Amino acid sequence: MALLENHPGPEYERRGLFDHFRAWCLALVQSRRFQDWAARFPLTRSIVRRDGERLFDLISGFTYSQVLHAFVEFNLAQLLADGPRSSADLALRAGTPPDRMAVLCQAAAALDLLHRRRDGRYDLARLGAALPGVPGLQGIILHHSLLYRDLSDPAGFFRGETETEIAGFWPYVFCTGKEVDTETAAPYSRLMSDSQILVAGETIKAVNFSSAKALLDIGGGTGTFLEAVGSVAPHLALILFDLPAVVPAAIDRFEKAEQSNRIKVYPGNFRFDPLPGGADMISLVRVLYDHEDQTVRQLLASIFKVLPKGGRLLISEPMSGGARPQRAGDAYFALYCMAMRTGTVRSAARICALLSEAGFANSTPRKTSRPFITQVVTAEKP
């Protein structure tokens, strides 16, 4: 009886030699005595040092992000745009104590945002100089103050015990038929529009719009994506469908872009209202990851219904690495979507499976030059 109780069971027997060897190696790495020896041994000490540095970066990552946040909030890139300044000068201009600004400048220099000169003054390093030039980036960095608070109790967050502030910032994801008013929509519409510029650029490079006649952008916000597509595909008729609260800003955008003659804007909620017809191509740009599978299935079924035979669907959003986890998708966007309380980051393979389930064919992941910003999947109605 004792022998049976101590038997490791069939799961242990199914493990191969490689699994046993890997388990032995991991147990060895966990040993303090081995770590001390490996740190001294010439063939392993560089590995130990690199692992130690990577662990320290993980430990320190939160403070790094706060340095970046303060760098943006104090407008250091703008204050240094005309040339180097001392930390005391920056403190005076930013309204902070000189000793604390000195610490911030040193930290920013250590993170390659600033460069410390021989005379002790600071000027912009390449990363710091790039911040103002990346559309929407500074707004996203400042927006993260909400996410930092949501993650202040990580264990509670992953247990689902946290009432997240991020969820309140994106009220449209909880729409139950009640309209989001224009004033409530303004902050998230502005952030979405600013950050959409890079996503639009990556998507346009990955997809050919030349054969399409009319493009319907569902959840298109104030029209950032459609405006960008319209500028590279002047033959294309443009259709936007989103909540009534964002329609006025979208109409204003297309008037300023002199595209009013080729755009139709339809107010509505895709969960409750029928989608407009007339498009042979439909785009979902950063839409699916806002919603749970049930809502996604409903949306894909509605899209399949209104697309003509041969019509194409374009999906562009951050994605999980699936079987090969990726930092951007799985260690950032997955947590952000979890904080929204309705969304989930899916892998390209999972999105293709949902597309196939809805009746689409030829689901194809397409490469983008910056997959940490967005990835693309296309499909067509057979």
Domain count, the chain: 2
Is 17 inside a domain boundary?
no
Mean pLDDT of 220-248: 91
Confidence of residue 188 (pLDDT cuts 50, 70, 90): low
The token pair that represents 351 in the structure block? 């999105």
Crossing angle of the two packed helices 32-40 and 17-29, in degrees rounded to 10: 80
DSSP character at residue 178: P
Which of residues 345 and 187 earns the better pLDDT score?
A: 345
Judge whether 323 and 352 are in contact, CB under 8 Å.
no
Q: What pLDDT shows up at residue 4? A: 40
Q: What is the domain-level CATH number for residue 129?
A: 1.10.10.10
Task: Let me know whether 266 and 322 are in one domain.
Answer: yes
Is 140 inside a domain boundary?
no
Is 35 inside a domain boundary?
no
- Could you give the CA distance from residue 325 to residue 224 in angstroms, rounded to a whole number? 30
Sequence-distant (≥ 6) Cβ neighbours of residue 347 within 8 angstroms: 319, 320, 321, 322, 323, 329
Q: What percent of the chain has pLDDT over 70?
A: 86
Sign of CA dihedral 227, 229, 235, 240: negative
Read out DSSP for 191-234?
Answer: HHHHHHHHHHHHHHHH---TT-SEEEEET-TTSHHHHHHHHH-T
Average pLDDT, the chain: 87
Q: What pLDDT shows up at residue 241? A: 95
- Could you give the CA distance from residue 81 to residue 75 in angstroms, rounded to a whole number? 10
Sign of CA dihedral 146, 147, 153, 159: positive
Task: Let me know whether 301 and 348 are in one domain.
Answer: yes
Residue 20 has pLDDT above 60, yes or no: yes
Is 221 inside a domain boundary?
yes
Q: What pLDDT shows up at residue 280? A: 97
Judge whether 297 and 357 are in contact, CB under 8 Å.
yes
> What is the chain's Cα-based Rg?
25
Task: Let me know whether 175 and 302 are in one domain.
Answer: yes
Confidence of residue 95 (pLDDT cuts 50, 70, 90): very high
- Could you give the CA distance from residue 278 to residue 256 in angstroms, rounded to a whole number? 25
Q: What pLDDT shows up at residue 217? A: 96
Task: Let me know whether 229 and 351 are in one domain.
Answer: yes
Task: Let me know whether 121 and 156 are in one domain.
Answer: no
Task: Let me know whether 185 and 304 are in one domain.
Answer: yes
Is 19 inside a domain boundary?
no
Q: What pLDDT shows up at residue 233? A: 93
Residue 267 has pLDDT above 80, yes or no: yes
Q: What pLDDT shows up at residue 133? A: 85
Q: What percent of the chain has pLDDT over 90?
A: 65
Task: Let me know whether 249 and 105 are in one domain.
Answer: no
Q: What is the domain-level CATH number for residue 365?
A: 3.40.50.150
User: In angstroms, what CA-CA distances link 317 with 80, 185, 199, 216, 372?
Assistant: 34, 21, 8, 17, 10
Mean pLDDT of 244-270: 86
Domain holding 125, by residue range, is: 45-133
Q: What pLDDT shows up at residue 3? A: 39
- Could you give the CA distance from residue 312 to residue 212 in angstroms, rounded to a whole number? 8
3-state SS, 240-304, equals: EEECHHHHHHHHHHHHHCCCHHHEEEEECCCCCCCCCCCCCEEEEECCHHHCCHHHHHHHHHHHH
- Domain end, chosen from 110, 133, 156, is at 133
Q: What are phi and psi of 324, to 5 degrees?
A: -125, 80
- Could you give the CA distance from residue 322 to residue 312 in angstroms, rounded to a whole number? 24
For 37-94, how does the pLDDT look when each residue is reduced to its tens digit (9 = 90+)? 766 777 777 876 787 888 888 999 999 999 999 999 999 999 999 999 999 999 999 9
Residue 1 has pLDDT above 60, yes or no: no
